[in-house]
Amino acid sequence: MSSLLTNSTAMTALQTLRSVGSQLSTTQNRIATGQRVATASDNAAYWSIATSMRADNAALSAVSDSLGLSAATVDTEYTALTTVIGDKDSGLTKLQSLLVQAKTAGIDRTKIQADVTQIQQQMKSTANAATFNGINWLSTTTGTTPTSFSLVSSYSRVGGTPTIGSITVTTANYTLYSSTQTGILDTVSGSASVDTINISALTDSAADQTTLDAYIAQVTTAINSVAASAANLGAVKNRISTNTEFVKSLMDSVDRGVGQLVDADMNAESTRLAALQVQQQLGVQALSIANNSSQSILSLFR
């Protein structure tokens, strides 16, 4: 039945055109943003998960930055410790050889002491210079250094409960000089500490030779202690390096996971866009034909 008041064909064509226009708008938005879930209205569950994971990734990024700062701090202290240990020409190793040399009968111990003094001053200077971002674990002579440091190393979240992992560093394990003279090099043992050893007044007497033996043993103990501290820091350094690589890999994994949830498949969207554009053109033509069909009624009244 033909009717002037109700054009069912035009209504159907218009409804189809509206549907195609809505789908076309959605596809164009996905192409413009690169996301198929850009807002909560697109997919509430996926949007919520993606938002939480992006927040986690921001926290992991902060952990990565913290690990970088921690690595620089540990590397500074580690470098200073290995410098204090030294070699045949410097540090505790050289100091030990000088004291052994001082046991030689008739040797001029005053001249040896000149070298000893320079080494002592250099080791203290090295410890004082081992500062990064205002932190120094080797020289705590100001009395304001915390007894321990927590180096942020990881972040995880189970449900709504976040967990921050850390590496605890005890300052006393690495202190060479302290305000209370309890460091590895300024702790007094017998009559002197490694920092205050003075052999200029010693002679070839049995008593002085015994004193020299005690000094040599004291320096040997210091070498072992500093080496143990350096080894411990080396382990911490390796752990930080491993954690740094893991956090970066984890961030990449989270990014990929979020992408799989919310990113648009651009190949599919481009194909869909072309199809919808054709459907829109056909819908416009169908609506035009449906609107023109009522013109045929006029011929009945001519």
Half-sphere exposure of 232 (CA within 13 A, CB side): 17
Residue 241 has pLDDT above 60, yes or no: yes
Per-chain mean pLDDT for the chain: 89
Task: Spell out a b/e string for 87-103, using b for 16 or more CB atoms within 10 Å of the CB, else e.
Answer: eeebbbbbbbebbeebb
Question: For residue 208, which of 105, 295, 88, 113 has the smallest C-alpha distance?
Answer: 105
pLDDT in tens, 117-162: 999 999 999 999 999 988 899 998 776 678 888 999 999 988 889 9
Q: What is the DSSP-derived secondary structure letter of residue 140? A: E
The letter for the amino acid at 272 is R
Q: How far apart are the first and last CA of the chain?
A: 19
What domains does the chain contain, in order, with CATH numbers? 44-262 (1.20.1330.10)
Query: Concatenated DSSP letters for 151-216?
Result: EEEEEEEETTEEEEEEEEEEGGGT-SEETTS-STTT--BTTB-GGG---TT--SSHHHHHHHHHHH
Q: 271, 287, 268: which is closest to 18 by C-alpha?
A: 287
Query: Helix (H, G, I), strand (E, B), or coil: what is residue 150?
Result: strand
Helix axes 91-101, 44-85, angle to 10 degrees: 20
DSSP structure string for 63-107: HHHHHHHHHHHHHHHHHHHHHHH-BTTBHHHHHHHHHHHTTSTT-
E strand intervals along 98-144: 139-140
Structure tokens at 122: 């250099």
57-106 pLDDT, tens digit each: 999 999 999 999 999 999 999 999 999 999 999 999 999 999 999 999 99
The radius of gyration of the chain's CA atoms, rounded to the nearest angstrom, is 39
Residue 301 pLDDT: 65
217 contacts 205 by C-beta, under 8 angstroms? no
The listed range with the strongest mean pLDDT (145-159, 245-259, 260-274) is 245-259
Token code pair at residue 209: 């030779």
